[in-house]
Amino acid sequence: MSGDNYLIKPDPHDPRLTARVTGVDQTGAPLETVVTVERALTIYLNAQEIVTAMTVGDHPDLLAIGYLLNQNMLRADDIVTGVDYDEDLSVVVVRTERATDYEQKLKKKVQTSGCAQGTIFGDLMEALENVSLPDAEFRTSWLYSLTNTINTTPSLYLEAGAIHGCVLAQQDRALVYMEDVGRHNAVDKIAGWMFQNKVSAHDKIFYTTGRLTSEMVIKTVRMGIPILVSRSGFTAWGVELARKANLTLIGRARGKRFIALAGIERINFDQDLRYVEDESAMHRRKAAMHDD
């Protein structure tokens, strides 16, 4: 099952996602470089404006659905009757069979590309209490195969930086790879894809290039995914919440190294490390520039 068998993966050559700009380097010599584009997208739920998010602009339908799901505004059993996107107005409207009204709960806000953006945290924490993650196996051989596939996939993360990537996987197969200027957006796109395609979460693995924060843990648990992996580090609250939710939490996954701080009982150490290569120097240098 290993190899590049993505259902969706990044297209770093999509002209909508990057721009070329000129400047100078440390010696004063002129240069031209590629930078990631960000643009505003306003999300509506039925007739109500919910949020304006800063995003690279791909997969607006999935981002909108996933955002609403992960903010506990859209339920897993909701019937979505339509998703309308107007590129000129930068607006996406998610329409549901169920009547919704969040006026008393929300104030209009701009969700920036900063990774510390605010959320409706009380609702998310309340929803977290009712989630029960399934038993699942996680083999270290799957981890090494996945990270090798992800690290060798052409992406905006490696091409231009200033972006985060998230991957949905099953065993050693990377299924969906999404990127965005905020890790929360990349997560939401995958949540939206899973909802639209009625994909079960019980046997899935979630990989992110970003930090393992409380928000990342909460969103992964809400999606029902039992295993969360990152090439970056942890926050203390992220670890605490993962332990409470029985989420397998693996960080600093680079080359043959990783650290697991929660849900360790799921891990099957089946890989002989003598046959695992360290992360390439080139990838380490590129990733060091882009990691957060």
> Is residue 119 scored above 70 in pLDDT?
no
Task: Give the tens place of pLDDT for each residue, 187-197.
Answer: 999 999 999 99
At residue 118, the pLDDT reads 45
Structural domains of the chain, ranges and CATH numbers in brackets = 138-290 (3.40.140.10)
Biggest CA–CA distance in the chain, Å, is 60
Whose tokens are 């799901």? That residue is 69
DSSP 157: H
At residue 131, the pLDDT reads 75
Task: Give the tens place of pLDDT for each residue, 78-114.
Answer: 999 999 999 999 999 999 999 887 766 665 444 444 4
Please answer whether residues 212 and 192 qualify as being in contact, where contact means their C-beta atoms are separated by less than 8 angstroms: no
At residue 288, the pLDDT reads 53
The residues with which 204 forms a beta bridge, in sequence order, are 170
At residue 132, the pLDDT reads 78
d(CA 217, CA 269): 23
Identify the band that residue 157 occupies on the pLDDT scale cut at 50, 70 and 90. confident
Number of CB atoms found within 10 A of residue 132's CB: 8
Strands (E) in the chain, as ranges, are 18-24, 30-36, 39-45, 48-55, 80-86, 91-96, 110-111, 138-139, 164-170, 173-180, 204-208, 227-230, 248-254, 257-262, 267-268
Q: What is the mean pLDDT of residues 158-179?
A: 90
Q: What is the mean pLDDT of residues 206-210?
A: 94
**Of 174, 149, 179, nearest to 16 (Cα)?**
179
Q: Determine what percent of the chain is predicted with pLDDT higher than 90.
A: 63
At residue 5, the pLDDT reads 83
Q: Which residue has the higher pLDDT, 284 or 77?
A: 77
Please answer whether residues 162 and 35 qualify as being in contact, where contact means their C-beta atoms are separated by less than 8 angstroms: yes
Task: Give the tens place of pLDDT for each residue, 20-52.
Answer: 999 999 999 999 998 889 999 999 999 999 999
Question: DSSP of 240-266, one letter per residue?
Answer: HHHHHHT-EEEEEEETTEEEEEE-GGG
Q: What is the mean pLDDT of residues 181-203?
A: 94
At residue 109, the pLDDT reads 47
d(CA 24, CA 279): 31
Q: What is the mean pLDDT of the chain?
A: 86
SS3 category, 79: coil
Residue 139 burial by Cβ neighbours in a 10 Å radius (0-12, 13-18, 19+): middle
Task: Give the tens place of pLDDT for each residue, 232-286.
Answer: 999 999 999 999 999 999 999 999 999 999 999 999 999 999 888 877 654 555 5
Q: Which residue has the higher pLDDT, 1 or 168?
A: 168
d(CA 165, CA 56): 12
